[in-house]
Chains A and B, each alone.
Chain A
Amino acid sequence: MRLYAIAVYLFLYIPIGIIVLFSFNAGRHASDFRGLSVKWYGKLTSNPFAMEALTTSLTVAFVTAVLASLFGTMAALALQRVQGRMRALYDAVIYIAIMIPGIVIGIATLIALVSVFNALNPLLASLWPEGLGTAPRLRMGYGSLIAAHTLFTMALVIVIVRARIAGMDRALIEASADLYATPWGTFRQVTLPQIFPAILAGFLLSFTFSFDDFIIAFFVAGSETTLPVYVFSSIRRGVTPEINAIGTLVLATSLSLLVIAQFLLRARDHRAATNRGAIE
């Protein structure tokens, strides 16, 4: 049993180890191992295309994470007071947003936005005041990327924060109200500190999702290139150690964010449980 578990963990982590190992390989090929070197990282940082893709990915991931955690938390707070048919409708939409395959979201967003833009652009051009030069053209790019990533991640934040709200001690809120705190005061001093770890975890997961997403970006990025899209097209052109270096950096980024997110979610569960135990 234990041996089996070890084998599965090896299965999960050996491929990751291989990427990391080869990224430090001085030779050109996997079979050509010539000792350790950071030269592929050097090549990477002097590659303007890779660096531009990295900047795009970081920007999109950051904005996505901010929007998703802000709007997701707002919706989660509001939804606890929504009941009946409206609640069922929201639950269904959130469920669909999480479960629908990324490829369908990518395609649907692509054709919907391109069609809307095609309809709006002539209108925009005709309404644009003369003196301001040429009218801006709506097109796929940062905006569509962020909007599409925010859909899934916002639904995710709603689910995470809502779970935390459900696990919150209602008595504290009532106590706060009994002690004449304003609703805003109660929110700021009682609710927010309790749900904050969940919001932060949601932020980190949203960032990771957006940073790692390939399939949605493949469709909606327009003329922009995100890091996963860059990696995919590099793989298509042939496997190089440079991809291993990107892979190692990407894995290191998301691994550290995830470990933090996991411990935020778990440590909080643990503490909440101990607190409750202490009160009882």
Chain B
Amino acid sequence: MQGKWINRALLMPATAWFLVMLVLPLVVVVIFSFGERGAAGGYVPAFTFAQYANLPARFTAFKNTLILAPAGTLAALLVAYPLAYFLAVRADPKWRTLLLVMVIVPFWTSILIRTYAWIYILGGRGIPNLLDMIGIEGVRLINTPAAVLIGIVYGYLPLMVFPIYVSLEKLDKRLLEASGDLGAPPWRTFLQVTLPLSLPGIATGCMLVFILLMGEFLIPALLGGGKVFFIGNALVDLFLQSRNWAYGSAVAATLVMIMLVTVTLYMRLIARGSGQREDVSVL
């Protein structure tokens, strides 16, 4: 009996925090999304679907996000997989922990500062300048979708490598030997043994990256230069510049809905495919 009260007391601060800082704000967003804009910005209570009906006004932001988020996820996967494979299967075990920490650490350092570095690299004095010297002229990188994609791969690579590494590391290496002994060429071993067994890691990595990309603001803001903007950029504009809270809430609620639906569908698909769910911590 006493233990029960201690338990409740221990859970109290966390519960209060979740209620006030997570549940309440999300409920407010949903309520506001059915309201109207005040004359001086902000929110006026109402019950209307006008904000949702007006969503096509920000069509470009949705279109960019729904094209570049999956494309960025795919690009990150393609770059991450060979590295994860190297770390899990080929790397010297003595160095493995260090190499792994070196992949994870950038993810936890300021994405703002790291993305900012690419303004130099992709800007006029960076790669285009180098290309110019070897005779390739007039290449523009900064403020293009390509720049945003590079920024995405760079920013989210660690998040993709880690879950794939975990699933490859658990893989029984004897299966690879068995496949080779039975006469399968390496590519076939890869396609029929390694790849299917690492699917849970691929799924986790893709999901994590995709979810975060859906809400991305910084990378398009810095490397897309106002030309390539995501829903996140539209949200900043709506809440901090035009102060249209009702419409902004509708955009935010739609974003969360799209994310929830995609993730649920994706999880279903993966659960059906492999018959198991994988929980991998980001650490």
Contacts and interface: CB of A to CB of B under 8 A. Distances in A.
Interface of A: 1-2, 4-5, 8-9, 11-16, 18-19, 22, 29-31, 70-72, 74-75, 77-79, 81-82, 93, 96-97, 99-105, 107-113, 115, 147-148, 150-151, 154, 158-160, 163, 183, 205, 208-209, 212, 214-215, 218-219, 228, 231-232, 235, 239, 243, 246-247, 250-251, 254-255, 258-259, 262-263, 265-266
23 contacts: A4-B82, A5-B82, A5-B87, A12-B102, A12-B106, A15-B121, A30-B120, A77-B10, A104-B215, A105-B22, A108-B26, A108-B29, A109-B25, A111-B29, A112-B28, A112-B29, A147-B20, A154-B14, A212-B111, A219-B239, A254-B110, A258-B108, A258-B109
Contact of B18 (A16, A19, A93, A115): A93
B105 interface: yes
A100 B119 CA distance: 28
B114 A16 contact: yes
A36 B26 CA distance: 50
Given A12-B158, A103-B236, A228-B112, 5 more contacts: A12-B102, A75-B14, A103-B235, A108-B25, A151-B22
B119 A154 contact: no
Contacts of A103: 215, 217, 232, 235-236
Interface string B182-219: 00000000000000000000000000000110111110
Interface residues of B, number: 79
Interface in B50-92: 79, 82-83, 85-87, 90-91
Interface stretch (B132-140, B166-174, B248-256, B268-276): B248-256
A181 to B, nearest CB: 15
A97 B29 CA distance: 16
Contact of A159 (B110, B255, B281): B281
Q: Which of B8, B90, B102, B112 has the most CB of A within 10 A?
A: B112
A2 B222 CA distance: 32
Contact of B256 (A1, A100, A163, A228): A100
B199 to A, nearest CB: 21
Contacts of A250: 109-110, 113
A18 B28 contact: no
A93 B22 contact: yes
Contacts of A214: 110-112, 218
B113 to A, nearest CB: 4
A243 B116 CA distance: 9
B262 interface: no
Contacts of B101: 259, 262-263, 266
Contacts of A1: 82, 85-86, 90
A148 B245 CA distance: 19
A29 B25 contact: no
Contacts of B40: none
Contact of B112 (A105, A158, A212): A212
A19 B116 contact: yes
Given A108-B252, A151-B18, A239-B120, A102 B215 contact: yes
B11 interface: yes
Contacts of A251: 109-110, 113
B103 interface: yes
A8 B158 CA distance: 11
B146 interface: no
Contact of B102 (A9, A111, A228, A243): A9
B117 interface: yes
Contacts of B91: 5
A72 B111 contact: no
A112 B25 contact: yes
A72 B10 CA distance: 9
A71 B17 contact: yes
A183 B249 CA distance: 48
A247 B239 contact: no
B43 interface: yes
A96 B22 contact: yes
A191 B110 CA distance: 34
Contacts of B129: 31
B164 interface: no
B261 interface: no
B117 A19 contact: yes
B34 interface: no
Contacts of A70: 13
| Shortest beta-carbon contacts, A-B, top 10 | A101-B215, A108-B25, A15-B117, A75-B14, A78-B10, A112-B25, A247-B113, A71-B13, A112-B28, A212-B110
